[in-house]
Structure 1
Amino acid sequence: MTTFTDDFNRANGAPGANWVDATGLWAIVSNQLSSGTVGGTIVIRAATAMATNDNSAQVTIAATAAVSHGVWCRGNTGFTSGYLFRNDGTGWSLFSVVGGSFTSIGSYAVAAVAGDVAKVQAVGSAIKCYINGTLRISVTDTAVTTGASVGLRAESTSALRFDDFTAADVSSGTTGDAALSATASLSAGGVRATSGASSLAATAGLTASGQRATTGDSALAASVGLTASGQRATTGNAGLTATAGLTADGVRAAAGAASLSVTAGLTADGVRGTSGVAALAVSASLSASRRGGHQRYGRRGAHRHRDSRGSGRCRSPP
């Protein structure tokens, strides 16, 4: 891709090696390009040719008058063919030029003013013209299919000045950055599926946590079971299914640590009845002192005794 620019910011005189005077005598005047003063229509082309037939040219109209002046793209070296976008003081016109013959193929009825930026672009058969970045003329034309020269055409008069010329090749399609059509399949994460980086089709399965199921890192299907705590059941770290039993205190029943089912009996004081801690049923009877047992004490000075039947029942003192 070729580009060409010139801001004309240099000493007064000839345009320099960047330009070829096709006809007439162009000059640099006060850091702008002038079409001279000798009269007649003259042309100038950039010494640098574009790399392709699809190219554009743009220039700022620094000073204007009611005479022909404009910008040229897809031209031959003599500018006897190409596309010219020019203003004549009353409006803009787009011309196809073949063998030196000019044919108007589009127009925009607004006079040029100082500061206007005029651009003409040819990409295939699509020919477009812009004023200050706004599309004003768009046509389909096949009269000129080749040409890599760009430049300017104008009446030779001191009333005209040009500034900031730019030209470049224009690609008919986008290149790089994996340009895809609107129907390109997307990865599970919504990123377009380009080559590499685990590209997935739009229907790729997701893991339980919503991440795409790529290889490695415990990739799981979307229907994978979850642990009792809601974590996915991967290998190791006591992975449990969603129906795993819980301990009496709500902690999952893993191996060790006296795992109990949720219906395990509790002691009288609400502590679970594990081995070695005198586990009691919830309904265990309590003594007067709130300890489990079958003896009681009387008033001060009284003594313990059994009845004659040996029932273990205590009678009141005489």
Structure 2
Amino acid sequence: MASFTDDFNRADSSDLGANWVEVSGDWSIVSNQLSPGAAGGTIILRASGAMATSDNYAQATIAATTAASHGVWCRGNSNITSGYLWRNDGTSWNLFSVVGGSFTSIGSYAAAAAPGDVAKVQAVGSTIKGYVNGVERVSVTDTGVATGTSVGIRSESTSAIRFDDFAAADVTAGATLTTAASTETAQPLTGAKTADLGIASTSEAAQQLVGSKTVTLGTALETAAAQTLAGTVSRTLGTAASVEEAQPLTGAKSATLAVALETNTARPLIPAGTDADIDITVGAPYSAPYSAGAPHADDWEVGTPW
């Protein structure tokens, strides 16, 4: 995974340094910001280093703005004649697919740029997005540009425009489980991810979760008996689940049993005769085979009429 940043905090100069390639025009650093000059016309700047994959983003702070075209570029080729451009023209943000120097508008958001706005363009697969200040404003599916590892800035050359704090990096897609999927039994999740199991799923028995994750089982699950949880995991059982007798819970976890559960007789939560830091509270109308006053081991807290 590649990444690149530049805050332009250095002496005024028309030489940006080895990390940049002036594809066209004369760019310079003025008062710790990037200036596209004042020569007129459209000019292009790209980072000299390439991203590692074609799934990448680029962003920059628009420190000063005017009604002229200026924005950021991702998934570009080396001379930035193809890729995706997210730019403002003084009245709206526009997302362009650029192929062989030909620009096609694929999305827009009506708002003028303001000083301090952070413009970001991102391409992951065929999903292309434009952001302003971290808020997604345009998201489209486009297959016009499938590959490209160059990132940069495109702007009209006018003294009223300044950029600051450029950043770019590869984007690694995460793992998302859909809320209505009926067969998600083999989803392997690793790394810093969240697994949100949908409330309509009926066959999620073999989800293997490792690392720092949260598992929330929906209120309509009927067969969740074989969920295996490892690592730092919080386990919440839904209020309508009816067959959850074989849930194995280990480590720093909590089990909250719903008040409507009727079959709790086979829960192997803690070994017999051990002092485990797991408390179980079972509400009414829990019944046989236990009765009030019967002996219970292992720090179990039992609600009436246990």
Deviations for 1:238-283, whole angstroms, at most 9, x for unmatched residues?
Answer: xxxxxxxxxxxxxxxxxxxxxxxxxxxxxxxxxxxxxxxxxxxxxx
Contact 2:61 2:166 in 1 (8 A): yes
Deviations for 1:99-131, whole angstroms, at most 9, x for unmatched residues?
Answer: 111111111222212111111111111111111
- The yes-or-no answer on 1:133 pairing with 2:143 is no
Letter in 2 for 1:176: G
- The yes-or-no answer on 1:193 pairing with 2:236 is no
Q: Partners in 1 of 2:43 and 2:215 — Cα distance?
A: 56
Instruction: Structure 2 unaligned segments of length 5 or more: list them.
Output: 176-189, 209-213, 217-226, 236-242, 250-255, 258-265, 275-281, 299-306
Partner of 2:144: 143
Structure exhibiting the larger radius of gyration computed from Cα positions: 1
Instruction: Structure 1 unaligned segments of length 5 or more: list them.
Output: 235-318
Q: Partners in 2 of 1:103 and 1:134 — Cα distance?
A: 23
Q: 1:90: how far off?
A: 2.0
Partner of 1:165: 166
Q: Partners in 2 of 1:143 and 1:165 — Cα distance?
A: 25
Contact 2:34 2:163 in 1 (8 A): yes
- The yes-or-no answer on 1:204 pairing with 2:205 is no
| SS of the residue 2:164 aligns to | strand
Taking structure 2 as the reference length, what is the TM-score of the superposition?
A: 0.65
Greater share of residues in strand: 2
Q: Partners in 2 of 1:159 and 1:172 — Cα distance?
A: 37
Q: Partners in 1 of 2:79 and 2:48 — Cα distance?
A: 12
| SS of the residue 1:45 aligns to | strand
Percent same amino acid at aligned positions?
59
Partner of 1:4: 4
Partner of 2:252: none
| SS of the residue 1:144 aligns to | coil
Flag as ranges the 4+ runs of structure 1 deviating above 6 A: 189-192, 222-228
Deviations for 1:3-58, whole angstroms, at most 9, x for unmatched residues?
Answer: 21111111111211221111111111100000112222111111222111111111
Partner of 2:295: 231
Contact 2:8 2:165 in 1 (8 A): yes
Taking structure 1 as the reference length, what is the TM-score of the superposition?
A: 0.62
Partner of 1:98: 99
Contact 2:229 2:248 in 1 (8 A): no
Contact 1:58 1:165 in 2 (8 A): yes
CA RMSD of aligned residues (A): 3.6
Q: Partners in 2 of 1:130 and 1:228 — Cα distance?
A: 60
Partner of 2:221: none
